Amino acid sequence: MTGAAHKTTVQSGHLAMRVQGNLWVAYYAKPDTMKDALFLGSIQMAYVQDESAKQIFMALMRDAVSEIIRSHTGQTAIWPEPDGWPAPQHEQGGRA
């Protein structure tokens, strides 16, 4: 060990996007569960049919999660590549 600080990456939560009726809903949840998830926002599905609109909404929700993490921990959120951490099978589903 050379005295350089070692950084570790810990998944402190995840951004969960769910179709609920005619809405696309975003939550911030603890790793591996949706229990006690924090509602972030929603948008009518009709407005995110275009891929660029979908990406803009997702970026806004990622920014919200990044701010939650920064304000509570002082740490900067690191986002995996799309599909880097897929939702657990029990969380994947259709319309609620």
Condensed to tens digits (0 to 9), the pLDDT of residues 3-44 reads: 555 556 556 778 899 999 999 999 998 888 889 999 999 999
User: Does pLDDT of 57 surpass 60?
Assistant: yes
Q: What angle do CA 9, 79, 42 make, to 5 degrees?
A: 130
- First-to-last alpha carbon distance for the chain, in angstroms, is 51
Predicted local distance difference test score (pLDDT) of residue 54: 92
Predicted local distance difference test score (pLDDT) of residue 60: 94
Whether residue 41 contacts residue 64, with contact meaning beta carbons closer than 8 Å, is answered with: yes
Task: State which amino acid sits at residue 30.
Answer: K
In the structure, what pLDDT confidence band is assigned to residue 1 with cuts at 50, 70 and 90? very low
Q: Locate the domains of the chain by residue range.
A: 14-80
Quote the tokens at residue 60: 């806004």
Whether residue 20 contacts residue 95, with contact meaning beta carbons closer than 8 Å, is answered with: yes
